[in-house]
Chains A and B, each alone.
Chain A
Amino acid sequence: GAVVSQHPSRVICKSGTSVKIECRSLDFQATTMFWYRQFPKQSLMLMATSNEGSKATYEQGVEKDKFLINHASLTLSTLTVTSAHPEDSSFYICSARDSNNPGGAGYTFGSGTRLTVV
């Protein structure tokens, strides 16, 4: 089945530094990927929609200059948390939409990245 690889799975960084998270579709092409954030014991909240070759679309309240998204190829999207602060600590999950399978099962989630900012 479709696999999405998300790295790193866990990262601890110092306040003020930047962290890059990768989301890679391994066996399918994904023109669209999604980035979610999940706070402890809460549901997933969509942060942005990443489109290959164009600018990402951010949800209301998400700072695009803080959460930089690059979707430079059909299999890779990256999320960079810039100048991270402790309140950015969270679980980040990506999802990739199979360009050739837009139906019900055409979306695959990564395994998530636990970001801790100290």
Chain B
Amino acid sequence: GEDVEQSLFLSVREGDSSVINCTYTDSSSTYLYWYKQEPGAGLQLLTYIFSNMDMKQDQRLTVLLNKKDKHLSLRIADTQTGDSAIYFCAERSPGGGQNFVFGPGTRLSVLP
């Protein structure tokens, strides 16, 4: 079945760049997403990329997609303490219920 993997933890110093990696197995994925979840809150869509794109940049966020290796990354430039949260990678495939498959989430800790 479909599977999405992420490393579980990442610590960076304030001001540094953070890179969160994700791999997925479903080659028919059409959209790949990054969501942010703060404690006790729902999911906030950060960015998404269509499967025919290699890169997408939005202010401090850069998404890179290597479709051949089924690898997705999220780079956060100039990481701030407010970026501390759990980041979920998710893929969505056409057909079926159009539902998402989420990774386990990466807990990002930003150290002062």
Contacts and interface: CB of A to CB of B under 8 A. Distances in A.
* Interface range, A side: 20 to 34
Interface of A is mostly: strand
A109 B38 CA distance: 13
Contacts, number: 52
Interface string A84-115: 00000000010101000011110111111010
Nearest to A10: B40
Given A43-B104, A44-B88, A104-B48, A34 B43 contact: no
Interface in B67-112: 88, 92, 97-100, 102-105
A81 to B, nearest CB: 18
Interface in A22-77: 32, 34, 42-44, 46, 49, 57
Contacts of B42: 6, 93, 109-112
Contacts of B10: none
Given A43-B88, A43-B103, A105-B48, A32 B98 contact: yes
Nearest to B97: A49
